[in-house]
Structure 1
Amino acid sequence: MENRYATAELTAFEKHLALDKGYSEHTIRAYISDLTLCFNDLKAEHKGLKTLDEIDYPMLRLWLGAQVSAGLGRASVARKAATLRTFFKWAEQQGIVKNNPASRLQTPKLGKHLPSVLSTEQVTQLLKTAKAEAILQRDQGDREKLAHAVRRWCCLELLYATAMRVSELVSLNVEDIDFANRTIRVMGKGQKERVIPFGIPAARALEAYLKAGRPMLRISPAEKALFLGNRGNRLDQRQVRNEVHQASIQAGVPDISPHDLRHTAATHLLSAGADLRVVQDYLGHSALSTTQRYTHVDQARLAKVYLQAFPRA
């Protein structure tokens, strides 16, 4: 396979994902990484392979099988299969290949594992502990430690209050906050914008962070990012995950991730009686089926609703 198929076509596809699909840098990087690995492996396996048009369905199927044999998880294999289908569908539309060899690739069935969910008491303990740490640092007069503590508290409050993705959290700008209406503008997957309400506790955490946290972390007056890292630039996802991990340890609750907080918030909404469609909008899911897989209702509430509503309970 000529080198231009590892450069020109992938470069064009990368632009397509960014400009036409509006995918995030992280998602695009994963697509290109999967495709590069596949094409390099096929080139090594099939010495006479010179063009993308020579790749057929058996080759791709065997390559995915090799990934499974190498111990790759089902979710990762499913992602690679989806990447190949997306790329070759685009390549066929662009006239790069005559036939789509990936159209028949099937996605491995994924297990129904659900993220960890904290109880309302555990969430209260998590947020209460983070707030107490911020107050402690304020009283001790250490501005740098205060900035970090109030940033952690604010991140936790917003993640739970809005159920936003960690990628959405770090993409927030100061101008996205509307304190008058207590809402925040979020740019989700596929550049889809939604406005999410937040409560008084999150508003107080935001106010504290903007007063005592962000000014201490900010280096450039022109920086628009809401959450700033230690070097004054936009906070990255890895650091947020670490903050949530450290906060859960400090609070003495089960170790969680930002995604677990998102799932917890959605579950608590459903348990409180929220409509599934409302939760769908809240989470920014394009399909209701995604929300149905992503959330679950506790058995106690389900039994209670059954006894109250079902005529032959």
Structure 2
Amino acid sequence: MSTVAVLIDSYLNHLNDLVATGQRKPGTRDWYAIQFRKLRRLVGERPADEVRLKDLAKIRYTYQFARSLKSLFRWAADEELISRHPFCKLTVPPCGQRKRTIRRDEMARLYRAGRRPLRRYLMMMRYTIARPGELRTLRWSQVDLAGRVLRLRESKPKGRPRGGVRERQRDRVIPLGKMALRILTTWQGRRQPLPTDPVFPGRGGRAWTGNALRCLMRRARKAAELVADVNGERIVIYTLRHTGATEAIRAGVQQIVLAAMLGHENLETTKRYVHLNEADILTGIDQALSGVKRERNLGATGPTPISTVPTEAEAQVQRIRNLFEELMIGAGADTLKVLDVLLTRLTGRSPLTGS
């Protein structure tokens, strides 16, 4: 009779075969391996046919663990490695949704605490609102500086595999703002990379793995003393994507445009990325009422045009902030503090904290 540990090893070998034939991604196999660690430690030596839900009481029953548990035993039952699927009627808890966004002062603490490679990555996450995996595996051949976009295959193909093969992936286009374009142009000029080189290289010049990026973020979060909020949610890489989406809505970006920027086909998915607070609602009602007031006060000549051209002082402050952010990418922690003090005195406002 097979033990749970043997079952896990057999299933991971099965996933390795699927990866080799292109039916699964290596990240999928790694994800299952991580989920199975807790199961192996707790009941690894138990006969697989005898394991029941009560035996797993010490494991936190999350959406991820329930999915991996059911997949393992369903596969084992289909392969007749066990007599029956003991968890077939198990209800998978709903997948939790992120609700936290990162404040400017928290972002500043992450910059100060993070290593230089992570700081560069966080900067691009901020200015592209891309998926973490899209930037992590990005190659220079996918960077179109002339077109101001990143061109890559959709990292999350839609639909389940049909006949053991996933549907053909589509192109994903990520727009580059002026700051992101300037950063990538500078990096390319300094590095002179090959088209196959990763934009964010790790050790040995290879692209980061998902686990390596999580470890870098965890160490930076700990060094910055960023703790979980009242709901127990920590700041993770994906928090920056939610923050970028929320700030885009605050800036007046239409939801359908934001959905295209995020790579969503369904607007309902985009709504889960926007987390407005009471201050946003109050600002909204003020804007709505001020619009009504302006409409009442319009004369025959129509509204007075509002100048959108920044003053020389405002333009100077913006140039200083842009310079600061470019310097910040390659600066050490001590240099960051000095730059912050200097620019606060020059502009009257901290570029890191916004105060």
In the other structure, the counterpart of 1:82 is: 67
Give the residue type in structure 2 aligned to 1:273. Answer: G
d(CA) in 2 for partners of 1:19 and 1:297? Answer: 44
Superposed CA deviations along residues 141-162 of structure 1, whole A, max 9, x for unmatched, are xxxxxxx96x666534421122
d(CA) in 2 for partners of 1:61 and 1:83? Answer: 14
In the other structure, the counterpart of 2:138 is: 172
How many positions carry a matched residue from both structures?
261
Q: How does 1:15-164 map to 2 (within 5 A)?
A: 15-16=17-18, 22-25=24-27, 27-35=28-36, 37-38=38-39, 41-42=42-43, 44-45=45-46, 49=47, 54=49, 59-68=51-60, 77-92=62-77, 99-108=84-93, 114-119=99-104, 154-164=120-130
Residues 111, 13 of structure 1: alpha-carbon distance in 2 compared, 3 angstrom cutoff = closer
Checking the alignment, whether the CA contact within 8 Å between 1:174 and 1:226 is kept in structure 2 is: yes
Aligned-residue CA RMSD (Å): 4.3
d(CA) in 2 for partners of 1:180 and 1:304? Answer: 38
Give the residue type in structure 1 aligned to 2:57. Answer: G
Stretch deviating more after TM superposition (177-186 or 90-99): 90-99
d(CA) in 1 for partners of 2:109 and 2:182? Answer: 16
d(CA) in 2 for partners of 1:288 and 1:296? Answer: 15
**Residue 274 of structure 2 is aligned to residue 295 of structure 1:** yes
Checking the alignment, whether the CA contact within 8 Å between 1:244 and 1:258 is kept in structure 2 is: no
In the other structure, the counterpart of 1:210 is: 188
**Residue 196 of structure 2 is aligned to residue 196 of structure 1:** no
In the other structure, the counterpart of 2:12 is: 10
Superposed CA deviations along residues 200-251 of structure 1, whole A, max 9, x for unmatched, are 1111110111112x34xx7xx68521222364333452576379769989xx
The TM-score with structure 2 as length reference comes to 0.57
SS of alignment partner, residue 294 of structure 1: coil
* 1:81 shift after superposition: 0.6
Residues 232, 43 of structure 1: alpha-carbon distance in 2 compared, 3 angstrom cutoff = closer
Which structure shows the higher helix fraction? 1
* 1:282 shift after superposition: 3.1
SS of alignment partner, residue 88 of structure 1: helix
Checking the alignment, whether the CA contact within 8 Å between 1:160 and 1:265 is kept in structure 2 is: yes
SS of alignment partner, residue 151 of structure 2: strand
The TM-score with structure 1 as length reference comes to 0.63
Superposed CA deviations along residues 284-305 of structure 1, whole A, max 9, x for unmatched, are 4576555433331233443454
**Bigger radius of gyration, 1 or 2?**
2
d(CA) in 2 for partners of 1:105 and 1:278? Answer: 39
Identity %: 24
Residues 233, 12 of structure 1: alpha-carbon distance in 2 compared, 3 angstrom cutoff = closer
* 1:182 shift after superposition: 0.6
Residues 126, 66 of structure 1: alpha-carbon distance in 2 compared, 3 angstrom cutoff = closer
Give the residue type in structure 1 aligned to 2:17. Answer: K
Checking the alignment, whether the CA contact within 8 Å between 1:152 and 1:243 is kept in structure 2 is: no
Checking the alignment, whether the CA contact within 8 Å between 2:128 and 2:180 is kept in structure 1 is: no
Checking the alignment, whether the CA contact within 8 Å between 1:154 and 1:209 is kept in structure 2 is: no
Residues 211, 43 of structure 1: alpha-carbon distance in 2 compared, 3 angstrom cutoff = closer
d(CA) in 2 for partners of 1:208 and 1:64? Answer: 52
* 1:90 shift after superposition: 4.2
Residues 175, 269 of structure 1: alpha-carbon distance in 2 compared, 3 angstrom cutoff = same
Give the residue type in structure 2 aligned to 1:30. Answer: W
Unaligned runs of 5+ in 2: 158-168, 226-233, 290-355
Checking the alignment, whether the CA contact within 8 Å between 2:132 and 2:238 is kept in structure 1 is: yes
Q: Taking CA–CA contacts closer than 8 Å with sequence separation of 6 or more, which of the two structures ends up with the larger relative contact order?
A: 2
